[in-house]
Each structure stands twice: as structure tokens, then as C-alpha cells.
Amino acid sequence: MPAKHRLMCYFGCMIDGPLHRFPDPKTENLESIQKFSEWKAVLDGPTQERGDKYIYNHIRLCNKHFLESYQLPSRRLTKNAVPTLNLNKVVRVTEQLSPSAIGTLDTGK
């Protein structure tokens, strides 16, 4: 039996809230298409090259990447939400790290 696939934040964050799907790039709504492009800009080149369908179906972002003013009490995002916080993390959960690489990570302390 295959292992259960679990979605994670693209940046490898410890999840303490909801994961947000990218806006639908196939919509007829121009605002949604523009928002998708703004969200897509925070991804690295190889991920962007995988295509809009892949991004929409597989990439999620957690609340740590959105200003508090974009977060509603329902834990959903406002319609104008754009990820702007904590975007400089290069190491994601999907990448394999060697023990020597772990020692070189900047912990911000």
C-alpha cells in the first residue's frame, strides 16, 4: 500500500495552522490570475518551471508567510492576501540535508 501523501508548507515550516492553496490559475477572473502570479513569484525557479497546474495542485503556504492583516478570524485569508513574510528560507522539507549542511543553517540566534 502506498504511503499517505501529506501536504506541507513549501518553505518547510512547522505547521501550526491552515495551509493555503494558490489561487486558481485557470479561472476567468483577472484578479485571481494576477494574484496567482504574485504568489508564484515567491517560488524558486525549478518549482516555477514545473508549471501552473503542478503549483496549484501541490504547493501550499502556511500563515507564517502572510501579514496578520491578511488573516481572518476563520483562519482563511482575505481576497487580497499575498505572501510577503519569511520568504528567504531556502531549505524546504522536500530537500534532503546532509549532517554537515544542517550545521551551516542560520538559525537567526
Residue 5 — very low, low, confident or very high, per pLDDT cuts 50/70/90? Answer: low
Q: What's the pLDDT at 82?
A: 94
| pLDDT at residue 92 is higher than 50 | no
Task: Write the burial class of residue 64 (CB in 10 Å: 0-12 exposed, 13-18 middle, 19+ buried).
Answer: middle
Chain segment 50-85, per-residue pLDDT in tens: 999 999 999 999 999 999 999 999 989 999 999 999
Q: What is the pTM of this model?
A: 0.73
Distance CA 60, CA 25 (A): 14
- The whole-chain average pLDDT of the chain stands at 81
